[in-house]
Structure 1
Amino acid sequence: MLRYTLMRLGIFVGCLVVVWGLVYSGLAPRGLGASNGMWVILLALVISAPISFVVLRKERDRASEQIVQRVDRVKANLDANRSQEDVVDEASRVQGRAS
C-alpha cells in the first residue's frame, strides 16, 4: 500500500514540475493574480489522476488484494473471539444451573 501511495505521489510531483515549467514558460495559461500556485497544483492533479489510473493499475490491484486479506484476517479473528466468548458464556450458564 505504501508503494502504491509513493508511486502515485511521484507521478503527481512529475506532473507538477511539468505544469510549472509550462506555465512559467508561457505555454500554459497563468492563474489570475495570486491564484497561480493553486492553478498549477490543480492542473497537476487533473493531469496526474488519469495517468495514475492507467499506469498504476497492477499496483492498485496488488494493494487492494492486501487490503482484502487484512479485512478477511480481522473478520476471522473477530469470529474466533465471538466463538470463544460464546463457549465461556455457555459454560457459565451450565455452571449456574448446576449450582
Structure 2
Amino acid sequence: MLRYTLMRLGIFVGCLVVIWGLVYAGVAPRGLGDSNGMWIVLLSLVISAPISFVALRKERDRASVQIVQKVDRAKANLEANRNQEDVADDTARAQGQTT
C-alpha cells in the first residue's frame, strides 16, 4: 500500500514539475490573477489522476488484494471472538440453571 501511494505521489510530482515548466515557459495559461500556484497544483492533479489510473493498475490490484486479506482476517478474528463470547454465555446460563 505504501509503495502504491509513493508511486502516485511520484507521478503527481512529475506532473507538477512539467506543468510548472509549461506555465513559466508560456505554453500553458498562467491562471487568473494570483491563482498561479493553485492553478498549477489543480492542473497537475487533474492530469496525474488518469495517468496513475492507467499506469499503476497492477500495483493498485496488489494493494487491493492486501486490503481484502486484512479485512478478511479482521472479520475472522471478530467472528472467533463472537463465538467465544457465545460459548461463555451459554456455559454461564447452563451453570445458572442447574444450580
User: For this structure pair, what is the TM-score category when the shorter chain's length is used for normalisation?
Assistant: over 0.9
Query: What TM-score results when the alignment is normalised by the length of structure 1?
Result: 0.99
Q: Structure 1, residues 47-92: CA drift from partner, whole Å, max 9, x if none?
A: 1000000000000000000000000000000000000000000000
CA distance in 2, matches of 1:24, 1:45: 18
State the 1:3 CA deviation: 0.4
Report the number of matched residues: 99
Per the alignment, residue 31 of structure 1 pairs with 31
Per the alignment, residue 52 of structure 1 pairs with 52
Query: What TM-score results when the alignment is normalised by the length of structure 2?
Result: 0.99
Per the alignment, residue 7 of structure 1 pairs with 7
CA distance in 2, matches of 1:34, 1:28: 16
Runs of 4+ deviating beyond 2 Å:
none
Per the alignment, residue 19 of structure 1 pairs with 19
Point out where structure 1 has 5 or more consecutive residues left out of the alignment.
none
RMSD: 0.4
Q: Name the % identity.
A: 79
Give 3-state SS (helix, strand or coil) of 1:34's partner: coil
